[in-house]
Amino acid sequence: MGKMRSSLSAAIPMTITLKSPEEIEKMRVAGRLAAEVLDYIGPFVKPGVTTAELDRLCHNHMVKTQACYPAPLHYSVGKHPPYPKSICTSLNHQVCHGIPNDRPIKKGDILNLDITTLKEGWHGDTSRMFIVGQEASILAKRLCVISHECLWRAIEQVRPGKRLGDIGAAIQRHAEKNGFSVVRDYCGHGIGRNFHEEPQVAHFGKRGEGDELLPGMTFTIEPMINAGKAAVSELPDGWTVITKDRSLSAQWEHTVVVTETGVDVLTLSVGMPPKPNF
């Protein structure tokens, strides 16, 4: 679950918290649980199901099977009303924070499911794209592929001594090279005991700029890539973000930790799509 690049900053600590090895292991548990929710819900994503039903299934799986809590439920910050559901479901031209509802999804839709678990005081945050009915337009499929590649090209930049700008630059370069645009109003974020912490992780930028990456830093990378222009707007519900030009949007997300020698992805699961073979 991403955050706006400015309005949430007053509600989170302004210093970057480095996590201990013991804390990272607790985050790994929460991250694995979040990823396993996506594994679980995948077979239910098919034409005719509603996003409200997907939300209900995910909620019950988290609470009853995994013994964790869906962090988005009742989450509120700034001007936003409390988020009313347990997962975010962003469909087609919805960029992020889509609220589950009773409208059935259709074959050819593309759907982002964003899961954040809270387990023993620690958060795990991940999202994944689904093609409904396994059929979609060439543009929709390509957008899903390129946005997934953007995520992993960014993850490849993570290691001690690199800068946050290296992450954003890798995403921006790959997206724009393929004719897509990067949403600039929302970003990845530090995560741990708090849902949203410092640093802010922009998905565009210049190499060599921004905070230096240090071992123990934990944050999400969650590029939002549009088929059309980058401009977005927020719906009156106070949460759902859409593309202004109604073009398709896709997003993938992982929670990562900077290690002594590189990066470790904390939101891995058996059923996750493999890392792209660039």
Helix (H) or strand (E) holding 116: strand 110-119
Architecture label for domain 3-265: Alpha-Beta Complex (3.90)
Q: Which residues pair with 181 in a beta bridge?
A: 226
pLDDT score for 159: 98
Helix, coil or strand: residue 49: coil
pLDDT of residue 188: 97
Q: Over pLDDT 90: what percentage of the chain?
A: 92
The three-class DSSP label of residue 90 is strand
Task: Please give the average per-residue pLDDT across 178-190, as a whole number.
Answer: 97
Confidence of residue 8 (pLDDT cuts 50, 70, 90): very low
On whether the CB atoms of residues 203 and 212 are closer than 8 A, the answer is no
Beta bridge partners of 119: 122
**Per-residue pLDDT at 92:** 98
Most confident of 12-16, 73-77, 176-180: 176-180
Alpha carbon distance 252, 128 (integer Å): 5
Residue with tokens 């990066």: 263
Provide the b/e sequence for 11-50 (b: ≥16 CB within 10 Å). Answer: ebeeebbebeeebbebbbbbbbbbbbbbebbeeebeeebe
CB atoms under 10 Å from CB of 274, counted, come to 7
pLDDT of 169 > 60? The answer is yes
The predicted pLDDT at position 5 comes to 59
For the segment 197-214, what is each residue's pLDDT rounded down to a tens digit?
999 999 999 999 999 999
Whether residue 13 has pLDDT greater than 70: no
What's the pLDDT score for residue 247?
98
Please give the pLDDT value at position 78. Answer: 81
Where in the chain are the domains?
A: 3-265
3-state secondary structure of 58: helix
Mean pLDDT of the chain: 95
At position 217, the amino acid (one-letter code) is M
Q: Where do we find the tokens 């927020």? A: 234
Q: What is the mean pLDDT of residues 253-257?
A: 98
pTM comes to 0.94
Q: Is the pLDDT of residue 11 over 80?
A: no
- Smallest CA-to-CA distance from 105 within 145, 136, 142, 72 is with 136
Summarize pLDDT for 24-80 with one digit per residue, the tens: 999 999 999 999 999 999 999 999 999 999 999 999 999 999 999 999 999 998 888
By percentage, how much of the chain surpasses pLDDT 70? Answer: 96
Paired tokens of 149: 């590649």
Single-letter code of the amino acid located at 1: M
Q: What is the pLDDT of residue 14?
A: 63
Residue 23 has pLDDT above 70, yes or no: yes
Count the helices and strands in the chain (H runs, E runs): 4, 16
With both helix axes pointing from N to C terminus, report the angle between 51-60 and 21-41 in degrees, rounded to the nearest 10.
130
104-158, pLDDT tens digit by residue? 999 999 999 999 999 999 999 999 999 999 899 999 999 999 999 999 999 999 9
